[in-house]
Structure 1
Amino acid sequence: MKYQFAKPIILLVTIFSLFTMTSFSQNPIKNYEKEWKKVGDFVNKGLPKSALTEVKLIYALAKKEKQDAQVIKSLVYMMGLQNENREENAVFSITEIEKEISSSKEPVTSILSSLEADMYWNYYQQNRWKLYNRTKTGDFVKTDIATWDAEDFHKKIGELYLQSIKNEKLLQQTKLDPFDAIITKGNVRHLRPTLYDLLAHRAIAYFDNDERDIKKPAYAFEIDLASAFDPAADFVTRKFPTKDSMSLQHKALLIYQKLIAFHLNDAKPDALIDADIHRIQFVKQKSTHPDKEQLYFNALNHIAHQYDKVPAAAQAWYLVAQIYEQKANAYKPFGDTTNRYSRIKAKEICEQVLLQKDSSEGRINCYNLLNSINNPSLQFTVEKVNVPDQPFRTLIQYKNINTLYLRIVKADDNLKKLLETQYDNRFWTAIADAKADKSWQQKLPATNDLQTHSTELKVDALPPGEYF
């Protein structure tokens, strides 16, 4: 049987695909391209042991030549290559990474701490079904993670993620470029300009989850203060007291405060805007405040207007437009008409964003939302059986359509068979080519609100028969 190990390698390498660090020595950067090509060849041939031997040589060489990025890359590959031929590989990998941490220096230590946290988190997710039925044991030191309960895992994972961003000043001074060997390049590096940004966002991704809420205490922390939505400069000064020392939400909120404070005075506000938008979305998702929807809208609107034409602010504009779009969906023609014209506001916002010639996430999102808003839609509802030789009605639901061009075609055996067996382009081609028993043009009532409207059309009498 062919040995399957590519996926574990990809998974582990992806963990580090965003990470890099500043070199603290004068050693020139080495990529070991020749050596890694050998590894790739062995992998492609299904020879994991040979690939592992080669990776171990790269690891030893990287350690000797102080090539930190290559040390991390080779360490991750070694763990991945052993995933399917080593019992309890996850446990052994955690032990190996702990050993590496004990002998490493910053910023490698911080990166490895983040990776170790992720490994514990993956182990937890794969075994959660066992953990929630496990009774909490005494306060003795538990070295075997097979004896841990859910709370033990959350405590350890949280500690490691916090440890990974503890050395703030050094990480905030650590730029990304020198270590492209372990970076998957994209177009948003300016939003994660330092190692601190990357590690902080990784930590937040864990603290953002609701896993612990399954067994949360009576005094669990809740985001119930309106100040959590405050503008960035005010938010970083706010206090969020709690007795719940294990609260994931609370830890995420505090990391957001530090992350935003770090970027408050940036000459280019892109990283600040991105972090602040994520903070506001997080708070809205977790908040128990009764006015959180309005607070969320106000917070996004503030960012959008404060930074207006900055490309990163396009995402704030998009989220504001999305709110108007959602409000428009609440329009009831014979009920609540408050938001009848909200979709027009969403369209105007997106059109303004598209005037900016950049490739930001917000601009792309606005492009897609605008297409959705402008797309025509049409739905017919006709009674299956109507009285022959008498006019009948059909219900039309339409959006962004002014005129209908209608044809009625007799349903012969060939068309009915195509409908039953080939309901695709062949059916529609056949029905378009068929001779029409009736055809006419129908103007629809004009609308100016981008909403879906309904109207009934009269269809002239037809002789007995079946029709499309």
Structure 2
Amino acid sequence: MKKIFLLLILVSTSIFGQNYDKNWLKVIEFENEGKIKSANEIVSKIRQKATRDKDEVQIIKCFFYESKYLQVLDEDAQTKIINNLKTEINKVSIPSKAILNLVYAKCLIDYRNQNSYLLYNRTNTVSFDDQFLTWTPKDFSEQIDGALKKTLLNETILKQTSLSTYLQIFDYSDEEKTKKDNLFNYLVKENIALYTPQIRQWEIQKKEFLPYEKGFLENSESFAQLNFDFVKNEKLKKVLELYQKQEKNTPTLENQFDRIQFCNNVLLDSNEGFMKSLRSMQKESKDTILIQKIQLEKAIILNNLASKEAHPDYNIQAIATLDSILKINNRSNAHKIALQKIQNIQAKSLNIQLQKFSYTDENTRAFIRYKNLNRLSVSFFKIDQNMTKNFRNSPHNKDSLVAAIIKNKKAIASKNYVLEEKNNYFEYST
């Protein structure tokens, strides 16, 4: 009987192991129905099998789901999640350790950002307490930096690990790209993404970077030769070193674009140098998505520099550049932003200023500022003193008051005006 019982367990677990996807579908089904405890029970069974099989991808996926459910089921979720995370890190292989250290750093950053007001008045202590709830801002910074540093240890092993190995826990739309990429490249990008918001841009003296503009804005080879010993801001120096490491390992045009965009926005504000680099990359690139990103940046520069005096045709050029992005209807992020930019540039606006007081039969003028309009229709309505008081006493109800007047009264006069429109998307006045 005992042998039959053991055989049943083995058969059932074997079938279970062959149906990871089916069981994850059950988890999602329970979750959508609000049955969190039932979903969590399935996840626990998946973890047990994954642990026996030493399937680290499934184990990490289980950890993510268990952490999500803890936040619903347990008041002390934050502490348990971080403690569970530290336990998992010690159990897994080098590539999985790197991923979980990244998750650990993100958890600490989120907690620090959400509770900064509580941490501000804490005093630094000589001894370090392992419980994060007692940490000072300095403790958090040191622990975050330490965790991120661990994500990039064992570079050789991480480079040998295909990103597709962890496809089930990453949100990647391009599965083919994950097969070509490795875990180290992914972790470098994640480090850049986490360190960049920590840079205090008001501390950066941009004039110190102007002598190195060529290296910052040109190809990977030029950038790789830069020495960052002159950079005083430690977070900035770290990010620049990460960009340099990224391009030394993978000198693609996409990585080059990301670095040039960062350097121009944060260090230089060199529209001329940036535009030159963008044009050069566009000529070289055959990647549709990257070309759309380049075109978007070019359009933004043109729109920002547009002026009636110096560059009266730049808005027109910006629209043409944005249109070239929209011609490729791939719903990329650049495509969506380009659509918004066109709507902003072409948006109509009207502002009318009238003389506050006038006597009976006085001829008065209105000062009008307008954009992307070629005509204006004005109707005049006669209102009594009570309605005037309503406008004064109910400033937030003006729209409804106007609508009521238009609906219930007849205009005593109407006039159409032709506005000068030069079709260059600037504001004019009359």
The TM-score with structure 2 as length reference comes to: 0.78
3-state SS of 2:86 partner: helix
- 1:251 is aligned to 238
1:260–1:276 Cα contact (<8 Å) kept = yes
Q: CA deviation at 1:429?
A: 7.9
**Shift in alpha-carbon separation, 1:259–1:426, aligned structure 2, 3 A:** farther
The answer on 1:120 being equivalent to 2:98 is no
**How many Å apart are 1:120 and its aligned residue?**
2.1
Q: Counterparts of 2:404 and 2:158 in 1: how far apart (Å)?
A: 63
Give the structure 1 partner of residue 326 of structure 2.
354
For the structure 1 residues 393 and 43, does the alpha-carbon distance in structure 2 shift closer, same or farther, using more than 3 Å as the test?
Answer: closer
| CA distance 1:319–1:211, shift in 2 (3 Å) | closer
Instruction: Give the equivalent residue in structure 2 for 1:31.
Output: 20
Distance change (3 Å), C-alpha of 1:405 and 1:193: farther
Task: Indicate if the aligned counterparts of 1:314 and 1:361 stay in contact, CA closer than 8 A.
Answer: no
Q: Determine whether 1:41 maps to 2:19.
A: no
Aligned ranges for residues 392-411 of structure 1 at < 5 Å?
392-411=364-383
Q: CA deviation at 1:321?
A: 1.4
2:293 equivalent to 1:315: yes
Shift of 1:281: 3.3
Alignment pair present for 1:79 and 2:59: no
CA displacement at 1:85 relative to structure 2: 5.9
Deviating above 6 A after TM superposition, structure 1's stretches of 4 or more consecutive aligned residues are: 211-214, 412-419
Deviation, 1:196, is 3.7
In the comparison of the two structures, how many residue pairs are matched?
A: 405
CA gap 1:177/1:211 in 2 versus in 1, 3 angstroms:
closer
Write the letter of the residue equivalent to 1:258: K
Q: Deviations over 1:275-299 (max 9, x none)?
A: 3333233323432x5x645444444
CA positional deviation for 1:347: 1.9
Compared CA separation, residues 135 and 223, structure 1 to 2 (3 A): farther
Percent identity, aligned pairs only, is 23
- Structure 2 CA distance, aligned partners of 1:304 and 1:433? 59
Rounded to whole Å, the distance in 2 between the matches of 1:129 and 1:211 is 19
State the TM-score, normalized to the length of structure 1: 0.72
Shift of 1:207: 0.8
1:363 positional shift: 2.7
Structure with the larger RCO, 1 or 2 (CA within 8 Å, 6+ apart): 1
Task: Write the mapping of 1:22-421 to structure 2, written as runs, cut at 5 A.
Answer: 31-34=20-23, 37=26, 41=30, 44-45=33-34, 48=37, 51-83=39-71, 89-138=77-126, 142-146=129-133, 148-172=135-159, 174-176=161-163, 181-184=168-171, 186=173, 190=177, 193-210=181-198, 225-226=212-213, 227-241=215-229, 247-264=234-251, 272-273=253-254, 275-287=255-267, 292-307=270-285, 310-328=288-306, 331=307, 337-411=309-383
Instruction: Give the match for residue 443 of structure 1.
Output: 418
Match of 1:13 in 2: none
Aligned 8 A contact 2:123 2:136 in 1: yes
CA distance in 1, matches of 2:249, 2:284: 19
Please give the alpha-carbon distance, in whole angstroms, between the structure 2 residues aligned to 1:41 and 1:68. 24
What residue identity is the alignment partner of 1:282? F
How far did 1:162 drift?
A: 3.0
Deviates more, 1:66-75 or 1:140-149: 140-149
SS of aligned partner of 2:197: coil
CA deviations over 1:388-412 (Å, ceiling 9, x no partner): 3243211121122222233223336
- Cα deviations by residue, 1:215-263 (Å, 9 ceiling, x for unpaired): x9x9xxx86642223333422332212686x922222212212223343
Contact 1:231 1:302 in 2 (8 A): no
Asked if structure 2 preserves the Cα contact closer than 8 Å seen for 1:415 and 1:427, the reply is no
Structure 2 CA distance for aligned equivalents of residues 97 and 67 of structure 1: 17
The 3-state SS of whatever aligns with 2:63 is: helix
3-state DSSP of counterpart to 2:365: strand
* AA matched with 2:242: I
Contact 1:318 1:366 in 2 (8 A): yes
Distance in 1 of aligned mates of 2:115 and 2:36: 30
Q: What whole-Å deviation, never above 9, does each CA across 1:288-337 have from its counterpart, x for those lacking one?
A: x5x64544444444434443873322122212211222223xx4x7xxx3
The equivalences for 1:427-442 within 5 A come to 427-428=402-403, 431=406, 434-442=409-417
Report the aligned-residue RMSD. Answer: 3.9
Structure 1 residues 123 and 355 mapped into 2: Cα distance closer, same or farther (>3 Å)? closer
Offset at residue 79 of structure 1 (A): 2.8
- For the structure 1 residues 375 and 122, does the alpha-carbon distance in structure 2 shift closer, same or farther, using more than 3 Å as the test? closer
Could you tell me how far apart the structure 2 residues matched to 1:327 and 1:302 are? 20
Which 5+ residue runs of structure 1 have no aligned equivalent?
A: 1-27, 266-271, 456-468
Aligned-residue offset at 1:422: 5.9
Q: Which runs of 5+ in 2 are unaligned?
A: 1-16
* 1:153 Cα deviation after fit: 2.3
SS at match of 1:123: helix
Q: Give, in whole Å, the separation in 1 of the partners of 2:389 and 2:158.
A: 68
* Cα offset, 1:112, TM superposition: 1.0
More helix by share: 2
The one-letter code matched in structure 2 to 1:440 is K
Alignment check: 8 A CA contact 2:326 2:338 kept: yes
Cα distance in 1 between the residues matched to 2:374 and 2:330: 34
Deviations 1:177-219 (A, max 9, x none): 56554344547985995544433222112211237899x9x9x
Equivalent position SS for 1:388:
coil
What amino acid maps onto 2:427 in structure 1? T
Q: Secondary structure at the match of 2:353?
A: strand
In the TM superposition, what is the alpha-carbon distance from 1:454 to its structure 2 partner? Answer: 0.4
Equivalents in 1 of 2:131, 2:176: separation in Å? 39
Partner of 1:369, secondary structure, is helix
Q: Deviations over 1:373-397 (max 9, x none)?
A: 2222222222233333243211121
How many Å separate the matches in 1 of 2:34 and 2:328?
Answer: 48
